[in-house]
Amino acid sequence: MPLVSMGPMLRRARADGYGIAAYNMIDFNSAKSIISGAAELSAPVIVQVSVKTVKHWGYAHVATWVRMLAEDAPVPVALHLDHCTDIDVIRRCIDAGWTSVMFDGSALPFAENLEKSSLVYGLTETAGVGLEAEIGAIGGVEDDKVVNDDQSRLADYDECLRFVAAMPNLAVFAPAIGTAHGFYKGEAKIAYDLLERITKAIDTPIALHGGTGLTDEQFTRCISLGCGKVNISTMHKRLFIDGFVGLKAERPKLEEPLPFLAAQHDAMKGDVMACIRTFGSAGRAAEAAHAA
Ligand SMILES: [Zn+2]
């Protein structure tokens, strides 16, 4: 199918109580593993890319890979830009064919975050692509951004309402609710009460950042409370490396490269499929495509 925009399919997911997996791709093989895992389970999926990865490969290359893989797949695929603070990068992604972008103004004071997010909202609405925007401060390490424990900050409820009211067609809203990027040191402390208050007041689907390391119960509870988009990055990166070097450890004399790529692909795809099953989006491709 042609690439789709994530907003309508996320609204459908939230309304029907399931979550759509949003994986951070690394290269062509990784994008292929994400889309083939979704295709095998007839699930909608979001392929998202960090700013660092886009700059590494180039805008046109990333967009072309994902568009070609999506066109060959029988499931709806969205191409999304993850955490971005640079409006110029956002413009270039929109021009290159991304179907949604995230503007991350969470490091800014609320009024400035609202002002800049609203400006990007104007751009995305004009271009017909989706926008994800964040408030509060999600802890951990994402790309080059480090938010220490003492700097992480839950989203403020009243600010959430003002923020979303200013952007009624926001594709997905990312309030900080206690999850963190990277591997958790202990168990994640999710502010379910805050999440529930937010989702009782607004219909916009919520993005769950920092998905790696959450338990099935935590995923299920967050999804039932309105998290329509579930981000997985750290585990995918781990399997990208382990899938490759694991085979070398097993078969040190192997010199042919393609089996390494296959081992890497299969390790990543297995995790994609396990998450899709947990999030409840297996078999939802047709309804998501219809919504899109
Ligand atoms: Zn994130």
The answer to whether residue 79 is domain-embedded is yes
Any domain includes 175: yes
Residue 92, helix vs strand vs coil: helix
Supply the pLDDT for residue 142. Answer: 78
Mean pLDDT of 257-268: 97
The 3-state DSSP class for residue 100 equals strand
In this predicted structure, which of 30-34, 171-175, 181-185 has the lowest mean pLDDT? 181-185
- Name the residues around ion ligand 1, CB cutoff 5 A: 209
Show the tokens assigned to 281. 């989006």
Instruction: Assign 99 a pLDDT band (cuts: 50, 70, 90).
Output: very high
> Which residue range forms the structural domain that includes residue 190?
6-235+271-291
Would you state the pLDDT for residue 15? 96
Strand partners, 231: 22
Which CATH number goes with the domain that contains 115?
3.20.20.70
- Minimal CA–CA distance to 86: which of 101, 103, 106, 111? 103
**Would 104 be classed as within a structural domain?**
yes
What pLDDT shows up at residue 215?
A: 94
Task: Indicate if 82 belongs to the active site.
Answer: yes
Ligand 1 centre distance from Cα of residue 257 (Å): 32
* Count: domains in the chain: 1
- pLDDT for 140: 84
Domain membership flag for residue 32: yes
244 found inside a domain: no
Residue 249 C-alpha to ligand 1 middle, in angstroms? 32
CA distance 74 to 286: 9
Q: Is 186 annotated as a binding residue?
A: no
Q: Which of 27, 82, 144, 156 is catalytic?
A: 82
Is residue 212 domain-resident? yes
State the Cα–Cα distance between residues 119 and 100, nearest whole angstrom. 15
Q: Is 140 annotated as a binding residue?
A: no
The predicted model gives 14-29 an average pLDDT of: 98
Cβ neighbours of residue 219 closer than 8 Å, sequence gap 6 or more: 19, 208, 211, 230, 278, 279
Residue 150 is assigned to a ligand binding site: no
pLDDT at residue 146 tops 80 = no
pLDDT band at 186 (very low <50, low <70, confident <90, very high): confident
Going by their DSSP bridges, the two strands 20-24 and 45-49 should be labelled as: parallel
Question: E strands within the chain?
Answer: 20-24, 45-49, 77-84, 100-103, 130-135, 139-142, 145-147, 172-175, 180-181, 206-208, 227-232
Tokens representing 121 are 């909202």
In degrees and rounded to multiples of 5, residue 138 shows phi and psi of -75, 130
Determine the residue type at 218: Q
Mean per-residue pLDDT, 128-132: 98
Residue 221 lies in a domain: yes
Using DSSP, state whether 16 is helix, strand or coil: helix
pLDDT digits (tens, 9 = 90+) for 52-97: 999 999 999 999 999 999 999 999 999 999 999 999 999 999 999 9
Query: Is residue 240 a part of any domain in this protein?
Result: no
The CA angle 74-77-81, to the nearest 5 degrees, is 165
